[in-house]
Chain A
Amino acid sequence: MSRLTEDNIRVAHELIGRYPKARSATIPLLHLAQQQDGYVTNDAIRHIGELVGATSAEVLGTATFYEMFKFEPVGKYLVNICGTMSCALMGSEALMHHAEQTLGIKSGSTTPDGLFTLEHAECQAACTEAPTLQVNYRYRFKVTNESFDQLIHDLRSGKLGDEIPPHGTVARIRQRIPADRGVGPKAPDDVTTAPDWMPAPVAEGAST
């Protein structure tokens, strides 16, 4: 139930500072909050609203539109099994059934130990490697019942800790724009002329 930490507030300001309007940072900040707490808390929503100049309702409105944001705790590992056409043609339904049996839960729920949440997902853009799944958005291709069981075993034993961070962390590498290299954003209405490198504007209708 927490607001962003001091360190994350610094990251938040860095992110906000890249956009011509602060509200553009809403989704990146929601990711940041989810990385901090594993899901997006009410306090974080309020805090993000303060940071980007929006109401909590506006931030919540944005957040609830997107599949990746969770508003209550999920397992440490979110297992998304793709069920769209290519994966369905290659047996994703049977895989989902097997996953439900193995984890002892229905799709859409979390194991009692809080380790796994199982979800049906839509196309994961790896269709030639069907059936596919993602664990915290890390791919597994051509998944069989056996490889699924092995994956769960490896996750339980902590063997994949280096490759797969806990739920909430998507990319572990952030863009950093060095102060001496970045151009920095300008308020959209403050710019009215062509960028410096563009030749003098041509008469209207003479080009394009």
Chain B
Amino acid sequence: MSSATTYAHTPGFYSGDRPEIVTSRFKYEDSHTIERSLATEGYDGLKAALTKPAPDIHEEVKKATVLGRGGAGFPAGTKWGLTPPGVFPRYLVVNGDESEPGTYKDRLLMERDPHQLIEGCLIACYAAGLSQCFLYVRGEMALAQERVATALNEAYAAGYVGRNICGTEFSVDIVLHWGAGAYVVGEETALIESLEGNRGMPRLKPPFFPAAIGLYGKPTIVNNVETLANLPWLMVNGADAYLAIGTATSPGTRMVAISGHVNRPGVFEIVNGTTTFRDLIYGDEFCQGIRNGNELKAFVPGGGSAPWFIADQLDLPFEGRLVGAAGSMLGSGAIMVMDETTDVPSAALTLTRFYAHESCGKCSPCREGGTWLMRILERVVAGKATARDLDQLYEVGEIICPGAFPHASSAALDIPAVPFPYKMTTICFVGPSAYAPVHSALTLFRDEFEAKLMKRMFIPVSSAPVMADVAAVPAGAH
């Protein structure tokens, strides 16, 4: 029987007989208060950290290989080490602008346990010598903003944030900053632009690697909320205990949100690297199968930007490298499940529309291409497309992502997987993300697209690549 428990105060979240690194307080209704936090080891990680020299704490985090939970999966300890030595000030920017389709874990971590996040920010500031912390919370998350604001006010009053933290020399301010609704601001350089009061458009890397040239042109660490929420536990229990959970390449736990056509959609903290997609979708402890006993058609394994998987990939574990080799990515830890009744072109359209809408407009392939993809898909869904349109979807995609685009293998279609990553002609991942659902859907379910084509005799149906000259524009030439 399922051991999963849910709480009326956290709809969608299920705990179970699994290690709890970041969700240990979710069972308490008052988990967001400083009283509950302090009664359950809150700020103990910070106190433990403050007894040691800052470089030792940095080493501990490096040793634990805490992978970034925002999408790219870059180890936090390594990221902190990328700041140029001896250059100050350095800033911490906390990325709480969670808006990847399918994803919600940072929102829960901010709403349910803001003190844990604050503690994580402080540990990072201490270890990496960061002078000020900016906690950027997505604009649409009113409750998260209120909870974090209250927690910061409590923490300032109790001496955990601000001047001489816990009576030591360590002093740092944490400033709560609200976003105002823009998906692309989740990209770290766009986040920095937004924090400087500008339009949230990504900066070109190089030279604008935040660790070297970030906020106000100074070295800046941008970490995801969940990444930082891991640090208090790590400080109390040590890197060895952290490494004992999960696998060598993906230690610890991960928050995963599974939504769509499953019997029990939910957010779970799972052991990193070992749990398979089959466990997650069909397991009694997790989603308990597809609704109405239907067959699985496809699923998105890592947020709306990720290429789709089908039943062939169910036995893959939730592990970054294996999923990458199989043609997709884990991204931000969000699985969206489609059952046999799903109209694939329409489903792909909902995602492509999202990315077309959220394009900041800086890079032409994304600004124009995303909209083209959306319009062509709209024609397909409306039954007004021709076979030529389907080819054009690939052609537009080629302009955003030249070369082979990652996709899953399919035994039924007899196609092998194309592994991650892809090449891109855009600065950030919004453009390729608009193409990912289209490409997956069209590659794995072309028959569904063809079934929707307009059946009129006089429309010339040609697959000649008339745009080949455009597709041949070299990468970066936007």
Contact = CB atoms under 8 A, between A and B. Distances in A.
B471 to A, nearest CB: 28
B196 A185 contact: no
B405 to A, nearest CB: 19
Nearest to A61: B199
Interface stretch (A83-91, A97-105, A148-156): A83-91
A191 B88 contact: yes
Contacts of B53: 199
11 contacts: A31-B180, A68-B140, A80-B140, A84-B354, A123-B101, A128-B267, A175-B176, A178-B157, A183-B173, A188-B217, A197-B169
Nearest to A23: B197
A157 interface: no
A89 B140 CA distance: 22
Given A66-B179, A85-B336, A175-B149, A129 B12 contact: yes
Given A65-B199, A130-B265, A177-B162, 13 more contacts: A18-B173, A31-B139, A85-B347, A127-B260, A127-B336, A130-B260, A136-B142, A173-B149, A173-B150, A180-B163, A181-B157, A183-B132, A202-B55
A182 B162 contact: yes
B304 A181 contact: no
B452 interface: no
B197 A197 contact: no
A177 B260 contact: no
A66 B182 contact: yes
A52 B172 contact: no
Contacts, number: 255
B460 interface: no
A174 B173 CA distance: 15
A9 interface: no
A166 B266 CA distance: 31
A21 interface: yes
Interface residues of A, number: 76
Question: Interface centre among B104, B143, B183, by most A CB within 10 Å?
Answer: B104
B180 A204 contact: no
Interface string B334-372: 101010001000110011011001101000000000000
B104 A125 contact: yes
B326 interface: no
A1 interface: no
Interface in B310-354: 334, 336, 338, 342, 346-347, 350-351, 353-354
A175 B136 CA distance: 13
Contacts of A54: 197
A170 B336 CA distance: 29
Interface string B102-117: 1110110000000000
A172 B146 contact: yes
B54 interface: yes
Nearest to A184: B173
Nearest to B218: A188
A171 B177 CA distance: 11
B181 A68 contact: yes
B207 interface: no
Interface of A: 18-21, 23-28, 30-31, 52, 54, 61-62, 65-69, 80, 83-86, 88-90, 122-130, 134, 136-139, 141, 170-178, 180-186, 188, 191-199, 201-202, 204-205, 207-208
Contacts of A173: 145-146, 149-150, 153
Nearest to A92: B350
Contacts of A138: 142-143
Interface residues of B, number: 94
Interface of B: 11-12, 53-55, 81-83, 85-86, 88-89, 98-104, 106-107, 126, 129-132, 138-143, 145-146, 148-150, 152-153, 156-157, 159, 161-163, 168-173, 175-183, 194-201, 216-218, 257-261, 265-267, 300, 304, 334, 336, 338, 342, 346-347, 350-351, 353-354, 357-358, 360
- SS class, residues of chain A in contact with chain B: loop
B236 to A, nearest CB: 20
Question: Interface centre among B81, B141, B218, by most A CB within 10 Å?
Answer: B141
Contacts of B357: 122
A179 B23 CA distance: 33
Given A62-B198, A175-B176, A89 B261 contact: yes
B409 to A, nearest CB: 23
Given A199-B55, A202-B85, A123 B153 contact: no
A197 B128 CA distance: 11
Nearest to A196: B169
A66 B181 contact: yes
Contact of A67 (B98, B180, B201, B346): B180
A25 B176 CA distance: 11
A27 B360 contact: no
Nearest to A29: B197
A26 to B, nearest CB: 3
Contacts of B176: 175
Contact of A86 (B83, B101, B149, B182): B101
B129 A194 contact: yes
A147 B288 CA distance: 26
B105 to A, nearest CB: 9
Nearest to B77: A208
